[in-house]
Structure 1
Amino acid sequence: MDMAAGNSPEQPSPDSGEEMKKVYVAVGAGSDSKAMVLWALHKFPKDSAAASLVLLHVYPRPKLIPIMGARIPASQVQEQELIAYKKMELQTISDTLDQHLLLCAQEKVQAKKLVVESEDVAEGLVQLIAARHVTALVMGAAADKHYTKKMRALKSKKAQAVEQRADPSCKVWYICKGTLVYRRNAVPLGHEAMPEGMQEYAAQQFSVDRSTSLSETWCVSSTWLHKPHARLQMERTSPCGSDGNEKEIVKEFDEANIKFQHMLKELESARKQAYEEKCGREKAERDLFEAFQKARASENMYLGEVKQKNEIEEKLATVTEEVERLTETTDALDAKLREECKKRSALEKRTTHSDRIIKDLMLQLNKAVREVEALHAKKRESSATAEGTMHITELSSSEIKDATNNFDHSLKVGESVYGSVYKGFLRHTNVAIKKLNPESTQSQSQFNQEIEILSRVRHPNLVTLIGACKDAQALVYEYMPNGSLDDRLACKDNSKPLSWQLRIRIISHVCSALIFLHSNKPHSIVHSDLKASNILLDGNNVAKLSGFGVCRMFTDEFRDTTTLYRHTHPKGSFVYIDPEYVMTGDLTPLSDVYSFGIVLLRLLTGRPGFGLLKDVQQAVEKGCLEAILDSSAGDWPAMQAEQLARVGLKCCEIRRKNRPDLQKGVWTVLEPMLKPASIMMCSLSFKSVSEDLGGVPPYFICPILQDVMREPLIAADGFTYEAEAIREWIDSGHHTSPMTNLELLHGDLLPNHALRSAIQEWLQTDAQ
């Protein structure tokens, strides 16, 4: 069956010269087909005798149809499915031939495509050669897997069959992988010379059928007409005829010609009718295939909906059972709830009665506590007056006014709600005078409190109380030239930022002062108002605690209790105040630990207290602590900074029981950092130190620390060093002098009192 795609090919006479010039190229479905077409284009160029190519494909009727992964015999498949499968394969073949036609067009060679259907490929080629009188054929010699460069024989059964059975007048080139393997030469034989059996066989194979295509009809008509035409040519060329016979021959020729024309018309009509029937049949096949696909899709959709319906019904049954079970459970719980509500009502009645009793007892307890506090306050006032007279210097009101130039506003260096602080010059010494606010209801209590505390205790890191004036309600302290820690963190008056070494030393000083207060005997002291503004720095940046107006002293009766605390109203700055102290009113030494933690974190970051705890906690958790450290302090050592941050966060725990003990949990971390930090403070050169301090005499400078000495000691080499630096030098294993590099005769150190006095006098003069 001829299945030529696209427009119907031209149908020249089999004996015409045009047909004889055509070269048929048998194209298969394999990858060798393109190479075969290229070989033909090279062999028969456009300017050669072979003017055009016919790309031929013999389509064998399918015997097995692939359906859902299995191969089913064609006899067991429905007709519409078989038609659809053939249509799909023929379309694929047509697309392949179109690609080869495009290749021919690029080489400017005329080409056509022809698809022939047959039971066997070789048989179809033999029949086509006989029917169309093909004189030139190019086909494959073997499958690609059988090809070798030395191959000279035909390996394909198809090629061998064509070689043996094809018309001898057809010249055949056998190609494999673009290489000529074998060539069959043509033997010129006329149609009459063809064996009678072959002619009959060709006629039987190409008999006319109403369902055949246009190409098949043309091949059959050519077979019918070829033999009479040849005989007519022979009769016209015969020399043995008379005139009468010639007339009869001419007459017969004319009649034959008329019949021939009539047969051509009938053939054309049959061709058109067959073509229309073919088109109609193809359209019906397409419609049938589409209807079959829609029916199958509808069936699949119906089955899917049925399956979904069954699943929904199963789920609905399951949900219904669950709802019933939950309903039963709810009813049972509801019954239990009603019983519990009855019990709760009874308990609430009993609780209300108990609350009234507890409230009455609490009122009585608060009244008793207030009476006890009043008695203790009177006792403290009387003892403070008696003891204060013994430990501090009583100053007159006139001395205080002269020292402050009658409280000149220009001499004011600080102010708070409790009073103002003035810089004064009293008895040849710079002092700080705090005048309490007479309008404050707590001024007298604070006046007595500070005298009581500071007259009892002495520590290097506690501010020294020099004297007091009851008439002027003024307290006289040692003067601290570098102001408060709060001012230094803010770099007030363009002061130089504190280095990280100095900050570690300040933290250590504050921790040492708090440990001293909490362990003081016989009375433990809680500062209760620790903050950066109450930490003062002297000329050598030694930190000292001040602001003892609201501190609390725990007497022996409080020591006897298992928990050291005192119930009072919270006082102090909100940022630094202990949260548990705010909630309960119970003041303990751990309240100072919380405030100390905030001060430590402020020294680390240089930031204000609000929101600081949360920021540091997030930075430590995320491992980005360096991002919030105060860069003006220099490059913090990462390990020490993290240790300090964790100590600060531990001190600021909300629950007191989670906070560390200052002596065991904090000082053990600070002490190893203190000595290395002091040694590293020698990074400043002598010149820079002199410039910063206004021209320090060179003998005031420690050769090791390159800073002004506070406690000068004479070593065995005759040079004077800062006590902390020379001790660290000797303890680290050095036996030679830091100045001469000679061996020290001994490790004894003697205080240089004269130099220390000169340094102190110079500091006071420079501060003026």
Structure 2
Amino acid sequence: MNWQLLSASTSNSVESLHADLNKTQQERDNLLRKVAELRMQKENIGSGSCTALNSEFSWQELQQATENFSESLKIGEGGFGPVYKGSLRQTMVAIKLLHSQSLQGITQFQQEITILTKVRHPNLVTLIGACSEESALVYEYLSNGSLEDRLTCANNSPPLTWQVRARIMSEICLALIFLHSNKPQLVVHGDLKPANILLDTNLVSKLSDFGISRLLNLPDTNSTAFLETTCPIGTFAYMDPEYSSTGILTPKSDIYAFGIIILRLITGKPPVNIANQVKDAVGDGAFGSVIDVLAGAWPFEQTKELAMMALRCADISRSKRPDLVNEVWAVVEPLMKAAASCVEPCSLGEKNIPSHFICPIFQEVMHDPCIAADGFTYEAEAIKWWLESGYKTSPMTNLEFADHNLICNRGLRSAIQEWLQQHPQS
């Protein structure tokens, strides 16, 4: 009897060991399959996507451009690797190195190229090329660093004026409207925060760091496009609470982060608990106490209305967050126009040029300004290039043009010429 019990026990143990071994082998096979897929994706990037960019750089070129990745040229450190400034083929660029040995690093490398080669907008950073052999990405260099740097006055930089902040809000809003309505697949940024918003010489903002962004199929019905994941990735203070708890990412996740960014631009405060601070101040009738006075004299009522909209954006419940086009833009646009009417000059190198003299596409002083059907003024060459490239929607609103007619903005052209004559060295 004891031998029978011992035999049965041994048999059960052997069966259990076999089951554990089979499970381990399956997990190993799945992991090896995943590694093979990622390696194949990386090879495809080297042969396909980078060709679309027309700029495949060698590792040696990047080393020379950055003086062998000198610490003195390091301008940032992301979650997936450092960023360096460099001179590449007589052009100033920013070079981001990804941890190529990391599976996440390879995925981010692929995702960034996939998205930035499919979508183009004046307020998205330009991807110039890549080095597939070492998983490095090459971008346009934006000299004023990140919005985070400017909000914290890093390196003793002066505070941004409310006019510049209002314009940045409008640029981010338009960029999100563009991404969320992109066809055939909309784009959810997924990690929207001031550190991922870069500023050029004119303090024009451009969204960057699309490594964890997602392309989602536009739904055929009025239902919301979404992606479900078991491992939410993002930055705590800006992460949609519902995405964090459920793993479901939607365009409303970006709207939550945008609400926090608006509150930071208005108040200058750190992001943690900022929504509750503003909500309490409004409830106590002391909204003025949280406005960042270093930005200048904000138009109080418009700013308060915007703060209330930002609180709706940052609502814990996704269903209560407002629509970007019909609700948020309706509040952001008037403040942007109020800022523009103040003719706040923006810096262009050592020059001071009124912001409305700058083409939204080329980011240069206009010489032949034309009004398009969206109501915005562009350099004629720039808007013609945009239309001839096959874009049917406005680069500023992402709404479809009613027509492609252009009207010469003679009044603005005269103002620009007069200004240039008064500033001959500019």
Relative to the length of structure 1, the TM-score reads 0.42
The corresponding residue for 1:748 is 408
Q: 1:712 aligns with which of 362, 366, 370?
A: 366
User: Cα offset for 1:563?
Assistant: 3.4
Q: Does 1:550 align with 2:204?
A: no
Q: How far apart are the structure 2 equivalents of 1:480 and 1:417? A: 20
- Alignment of 1:447 with 2:109, yes or no, is yes
1:586 pairs with one of 248, 257, 278:
248
More helix by share: 1
The equivalent residue for 2:91 is: 429
Which range is displaced more, 589-598 or 618-627? 618-627
Tell me if structure 2 keeps the 8 A contact 1:711–1:723. Answer: no
Change (3 A) 1:374 1:662: farther
1:619 partner SS: helix
Q: Where does residue 308 of structure 2 map in the other structure?
A: 646
Which residue matches 2:340? 678
Which of 555, 561, 565 is equivalent to 2:226?
565
Displacement of 1:407: 0.5
**Mapped contact 2:240–2:257 kept (Cα < 8 A):** yes
Shift of 1:471: 1.4
For residues 664 and 384 of structure 1, what CA distance do their matches in structure 2 show? Answer: 38
Q: Deviations over 1:437-479 (max 9, x none)?
A: 2353311110111011101110000000000001122100000
Query: What do residues 87-131 of structure 1 show as CA deviations (whole Å, max 9, x unaligned)?
Result: xxxxxxxxxxxxxxxxxxxxxxxxxxxxxxxxxxxxxxxxxxxxx
2-side partners of 1:468 and 1:588: how far apart? Answer: 29
- Where 1:603 maps in the other structure, the secondary structure is helix
Aligned sequence identity (%): 46
Equivalents in 2 of 1:466, 1:704: separation in Å? 27
CA contact (8 A) 1:421 1:432 kept: yes
* Residues in 1 aligned to 2:328 and 2:241: alpha-carbon distance in whole angstroms: 20
Asked whether 1:506 is paired with 2:168, we answer yes
CA RMSD in angstroms, aligned pairs only:
3.5
Displacement of 1:615 after TM fit? 0.2
CA deviation digits over 1:380-402, x for unaligned, max 9?
Answer: 76875634422341111111111
Q: Which has the higher contact order (CA 8 A, sep 6+)?
A: 2
The letter for the 2-side match of 1:713 is H
The one-letter code matched in structure 1 to 2:149 is: D
Q: Is the 8 A contact 1:396 1:471 kept in 2?
A: yes
- Structure 2 gap ranges (5+): 1-26, 371-375, 380-406, 421-425
1:108 paired residue number: none
User: C-alpha offsets along residues 532-563 of structure 1, whole Å, 9 cap, x if unaligned?
Assistant: 1000000101110001000111136x667933
Q: Distance in 2 between matches of 1:383 and 1:389?
A: 10
Note closer, same or farther for the CA distance 1:444–1:703 as it changes in structure 2 (3 Å cut): closer
- Judge conservation of contact 2:96–2:138 (CA < 8 Å) in 1: yes
1:645/1:715 Cα in 2 relative to 1: closer, same or farther (>3 Å)?
closer
Seen in structure 2, the aligned counterparts of structure 1 residues 705 and 499 have a Cα distance that, compared at 3 Å, is farther
- Counterpart CA distance in 2 for 1:653 and 1:642 is 17
SS class of match (1:414): strand
Q: Any idea what SS the aligned residue of 2:244 has? A: helix
Provide the residue aligned with 2:382 in structure 1. none
Aligned counterpart in structure 2 of residue 532 of structure 1, from 182, 185, 194: 194
Tell me how far 1:705 sits from its aligned partner.
Answer: 7.3
User: CA contact under 8 A between 2:45 and 2:132: conserved in structure 1?
Assistant: no
Distance 1:516 1:567, change over 3 A: same
For residues 349 and 182 of structure 2, what CA distance do their matches in structure 1 show? 40
Return 5+ residue gaps in structure 1 as ranges. 1-366, 717-721, 726-746, 760-765
Report deviation, 1:422.
0.4
- C-alpha deviation, 1:518, in angstroms: 0.8
Q: Distance in 2 between matches of 1:560 and 1:602?
A: 35
Which residue identity is paired with 1:488?
R
Partner of 1:631: 293
The size of the alignment, in residue pairs, is 349
Work out the CA distance in 1 between the residues paired with 2:281 and 2:153: 25
**1:647 aligned partner, one-letter code:** M
TM-score by length of 2: 0.74
